Amino acid sequence: MVKEIMAILPASVRSILTALPSAVREHLEEIRLRQNQPMEIRYGQQSSYVTPSGQLTAIARQGWIFSEEQAVKLLNQVSQHSLYALEEELKRGYITVVGGHRIGIAGKVVMEKGEVKGIRDVTSFNIRIAREKKGAAHRVLPFLFENGRVHNTLIISPPQCGKTTLLRDIARSLSYGNEWASSRKVGIVDERSELAGCLNGVPQRDVGPRTDVLDACPKAVGMMMLIRSMSPDVLIVDEIGRTEDGEAVWEAIHAGVAVICTAHGADVSEVAQRPTLGRLIQYGAFSRYILLSRTNGVGTVEAVYDGSLTRVDREKIAWLS
Amino acid sequence: MVKLIGAVLILFSASMIGWQIGRNYAFRPVQLRALLVALQMLETEIVYGLTPLHRAFVKIGHRVPDEVGRLFLTAAELLITERAQTAEDALRQAIDAHWPQTALRRQERDVLSSLGQVLGSSDREDQQKHLRLAVTHLRGLEEEARAEQGRYEKMYKSLGFLCGLLVVILMF
């Protein structure tokens, strides 16, 4: 079981989790705690309630009830007794903790001038355990380089197909250097703090030794900032979509920086329908497209195309299952 | 001869007692000042630095002199080692441990404990409000302490010596 998560949990929750069967504990993905409701865990593809003695059960009333007192304690531990330091996080609805794990929260929302100011009375916690999938990028790396240059790449994928994991591993491989290319300076604009999972600006995920991260920064602004201040060889950005994102990608490419980014979609033609991305594709901004799916499990690489949409790989690659 | 030595001893100890009482009057404003500095630092750490409470306590502990500084270090340690469940608890335990060594009084203690009840448990603006309130309270107490110092410090010091002198005179 993950040490960092254990450290922030109240003693009662901790002891129940330690009593779980070890097979379940090893594959724990989410711990869901809702005030006055039974504790729920998700592991593998299943979910289940947990009894006070650490047994799995499908019957809600046998589950161990997460009390109000426990909720207060947990929030106290997570915030290190300093709620004021979590203002931004309470506004966004999730808290990143040591190890890059993420705690989603819900409760009573406080508004100010029409905007969410934060969440008071936090009653629901979703503790998502981050697991590194190193080597995810291994099979696609050979397609990303040509004559020592890094291709401008667009990763296209429906939700939950391992897009972010792949992107993170590409960043790490570029930063460390790999068998196809020497190491590069990598800049990550991590608007949703998902790629690097920063805590106080320090990446909690391994994104490589030559990587600079702009945490929680809007993509378009962040890309320009990084180009000016950190002179990266490769820019890594998650989920391009807005007009200004497209412009920033365009700028970066013409500033001699390779861009690797992702977009939601099922295939290249679908993505090409979207105004910003369509224009980028039309003008040949990208020289590689990686298509993900879950046909052979999460993170199947359906196909890799070059700039003229000719397929360059030979078979599907499954790297996550 | 023995009588003379006794007289000197009495005179000496009486002056020491007076001096000690007077010194307490001198220490209180100094420690109150330290406490005020500590709370103002805490405000900066919380409002501008967004520093977690235990780290702020450590910083303050190293920079504020003597017993007041040690009080914050103890509170930080209690939080870090999880021997205190809440910030309020940590502060209360630290106060219990260090208060007898200070020249501070009940009123100061009340201000600090009631601050402890809200410390860390709300957003920045609210924290700032509470900290400012505590600082204002302590300022008032500091003025009072200084006035008392002016009035009583010298008095107790001379009183001790004079009492000793009186006993010596009565002895002879």
Q: What tokens were used for A164?
A: 């972010």
Facing B50 at nearest CB: one of A73, A84, A118 = A84
Q: Which residues contact B166 (CB under 8 A, 6 or more apart)?
A: none
Q: Which residues of B touch A82 (CB under 8 A)?
A: 46, 50-53, 56, 120
Kindly report the nearest CA distance between residue A46 and chain B, in angstroms. Answer: 34
3-state SS string over A135-154?
CCCCCCHHHHEECCEECCEE
Q: A35: helix, coil or strand? A: strand
In angstroms, the CA A103 to CA A36 distance is 18
Tens of pLDDT, residues A88-138:
888 888 888 888 888 999 999 988 888 888 888 899 999 988 877 778 888
Centroid of chain to Cα A183: 23
A284: alpha, beta or left? (left if phi > 0; alpha if psi -120 to 50): left
Confidence class for position A315, pLDDT limits 50, 70, 90: low
First to last CA, chain A: 21
Which percentage of chain A shows pLDDT scores above 70?
A: 98
Q: What is the pLDDT of residue A318?
A: 56
CATH code that applies to domain A3-128: 3.30.450
Q: What is the pLDDT of residue A115?
A: 86
Listed as own residue / partner, the contacts of B67-73 with beta carbons closer than 8 Å and 24 or more positions apart are B67/B31, B67/B98, B67/B101, B67/B102, B68/B31, B68/B34, B68/B35, B68/B38, B68/B102, B69/B34, B69/B38, B70/B98, B71/B95, B71/B97, B71/B98, B72/B38
What letter would DSSP give residue A60? Answer: G
Give the position of tokens 């589950």.
Answer: A63
**Contact check, Cβ <8 Å, A82/B52:** yes
| Contact across the interface for A84 and B127, Cβ inside 8 Å | yes
CB B127 within 8 A of CB A84: yes
What is the CA angle B15-B19-B24, rounded to 5? 155
Quick check: B123 and A80 CB within 8 A?
no
Chain A neighbors of B115, CB-CB under 8 A: none
Q: Is B49 exposed, middle or buried (0-12, 13-18, 19+ CB in 10 A)?
A: middle
Domain boundaries, chain A: 3-128, 141-318
Q: How far is A49 from chain B (nearest CA, A)?
A: 27
Inter-chain CB proximity A73 and B52 less than 8 Å = no
**Residue type (1 letter), A309:** L
Cα separation of B129 and A94, whole Å? 26
- Residue A1 — very low, low, confident or very high, per pLDDT cuts 50/70/90? low
Measure the CA–CA gap between B115 and B130, rounded to whole angstroms: 7
User: How far away is chain A from the Cα of B76, in angstroms, using its nearest Cα?
Assistant: 11
**What b/e string do you get for A73-107 counting C-beta neighbours within 10 Å, with b at 16 or more?**
bbbbbbbbbbbbbbeebbebbbbbbebbbbbebeb
Chain-chain contact of A87 with B124 (C-beta, under 8 angstroms): yes
> Which chain A residues contact residue B127 at CB under 8 A?
84
A141-318 folds as Rossmann fold (3.40.50)
Q: Best interface-test mutation with B: which of A79, A84, A89 has the largest number of B CBs within 10 A?
A: A84
- Selection from A208, A226, A218 nearest residue A244 by Cα: A218
Give the closest of B79, B85, B123 to A84, CB-based. B123
Residue B79 with chain A: CB contacts under 8 Å:
80-81
Lowest mean pLDDT among A223-237, A263-277, B128-142: A263-277
pTM of the full structure = 0.73
Q: Give the residue from chain B lying closest to A80, CA to CA.
A: B52
A83:B123 CB<8 A: yes
Tokens of B137: 């309270």
DSSP assignment of B39-101: HHHHHHHHHTT---HHHHHHHHHHHS-HHHHHHHHHHHHHHHTTSSSSHHHHHHHHHHHHGGG
Chain-chain contact of A84 with B122 (C-beta, under 8 angstroms): yes
Strand order in the sheet with A115-128: A56-57, A46-50, A40-43, A28-34, A115-128, A102-112, A94-96
How high is the pLDDT of residue A164? 86
Per-residue DSSP letter, A296: T
Distances (CA, A) of B152 to B68, B126, B158: 23, 39, 10
Return the beta strands (E) in A113-196 as ranges: 115-128, 145-146, 149-150, 153-157, 186-190
Dihedral sign, Cα of residue B106, residue B111, residue B112, residue B113: positive
**Interval A72-93: pLDDT, tens:** 889 988 888 888 888 888 888 8
Residue boundaries of the structural domains of chain B:
30-151
Residue of A nearest to B127 (CA): A84
The minimum CA-CA distance between B134 and chain A, rounded to whole Å, is: 18
pLDDT in tens, chain B (172 residues): 888 898 899 989 999 998 888 888 888 999 999 999 999 999 999 999 888 899 999 999 999 988 899 999 999 999 988 888 888 999 999 999 999 988 888 999 999 999 999 998 888 889 999 999 999 999 999 999 999 998 888 888 889 889 989 988 888 7
CB within 8 Å: B86 and A81: yes
* Gap from B105 CA to chain A (nearest CA, Å): 27
Are B123 and A87 within 8 A, CB to CB? yes
Residues of B with CB under 8 A from a CB of A: 46-47, 50-54, 56, 79, 85-87, 90, 119-124, 126-127
Is the alpha carbon torsion for A28, A34, A39, A40 positive or negative?
negative
- Kind and range of the H or E element at A220? helix A219-230
- Cβ separation B120–A82 shorter than 8 A: yes
A interface with B, Cβ–Cβ below 8 Å? 73, 76, 79-85, 87, 118
